[in-house]
Structure 1
């Protein structure tokens, strides 16, 4: 993959992804590289967006969102085997290589559902959830709270992620700054703003230097401090 092809895709090592997602980098690598358990081989859950022509693992933005949802399912009690099965079934149903990161998934901690909107003969729309394991439609109002921090396009694919919620105005957008965390208003990476406040005379001087608000500098410092604490944990 050339540098031009990386534009709008995002680029993350497992360590960078792990810091953002609070997931062990080794787990991310296993999911995307495949691994053995007790002599049995488990293939990668999917092929990463990024390939630089060697054996290293890199994630694109869609991979980042896919890993985030897969881990969220496992955290609420869905087995990794069921997550793998859901990916395989959903690929066939909606025809996408990374179906978990679309806005059509829901979970109740035991089962995984695919969100379907259909229209009857009278033109009335209704929402259904297809249970991916029982292969039958069920009514449900479950919403996965992690989707609230993601902006989706009209096709249901993720466009941007607010990794600290929307309070700090920090966004990860693969179309801006190669998908690094940025101040949403100025597009300046949070790491740059936080470093400027530390080394260039404080918050006020950093805000003047980068033509951003002092609030943007404070938010960047808070976000980067949170990332450092995750590394230390």
Structure 2
């Protein structure tokens, strides 16, 4: 992939992704690179959207969101093998290379469902859940709370992620600041604001220097402190 194609995609190493997602980087690498266990090869869950022409693993923003949902499924008891199967089925159903990162997925901890809206001949819409393993429709409504921190486009694809919720006003948007965590109002990276505040020792001076609010600086410091604590954990 040339540098021009990286614009608006986001670029993250497994270590950076792991810090944001609270997932061990080695696990992310295994999921995206494949691995062997006791002589058996387990292929990647999907092919990352970024390749720089070597064996290193990089993630784009869509990969970041895909990993986030895959991990959520696995955390509630869905095996990685079943997640891989769900991805393969969902690709055929909705025609997306990275279906997990769309807003159509739900889980009850045992099965994975694809959220579908159908319109009948009278123009009336109804919401259904397709069980990807039984391949039949379920009429249950299952809420996945992790989707609440993601902004989706009209096509169901993720546009931006609020990694600490919306309270801190910190957003990850692949079209802004190369997908790094930023103050949503000013687009200044939180790492820069937090580092400046630490160096200067003054929230007010940092806010003046970067033309942001003092609240934005405090939120950036809080966010970056949270990221550092995740690394130390």
Same fold (TM over 0.5): yes
Aligned to 1:70: 70
What displacement does 1:201 show?
3.8
Which residues of 2 match residues 208-223 of structure 1 at below 5 A?
A: 208-223=208-223
Paired position in structure 1 for 2:22: 22
2-structure distance, mates of 1:209, 1:110: 51
Q: Deviations over 1:56-82 (max 9, x none)?
A: 100000000000000000011111111
Q: Map 1:1-233; keep pairs closer than 5 Å.
A: 1-233=1-233
SS of the counterpart of 2:81? helix
CA distance in 1, matches of 2:191, 2:93: 40
CA deviation profile, 1:169-201 (whole Å, cap 9, x unmatched):
000000001100000000000000001111124
TM-fit CA distance, 1:155: 0.5
SS of 2:208's partner is helix
Q: What's the RMSD between the two structures over aligned residues?
A: 0.6
SS in structure 2 at match of 1:53:
coil
Q: Distance in 1 between matches of 2:127 and 2:204?
A: 50
Task: Indicate the SS of the match to 2:115.
Answer: strand
Q: Report the Cα offset of residue 131 of structure 1.
A: 0.2
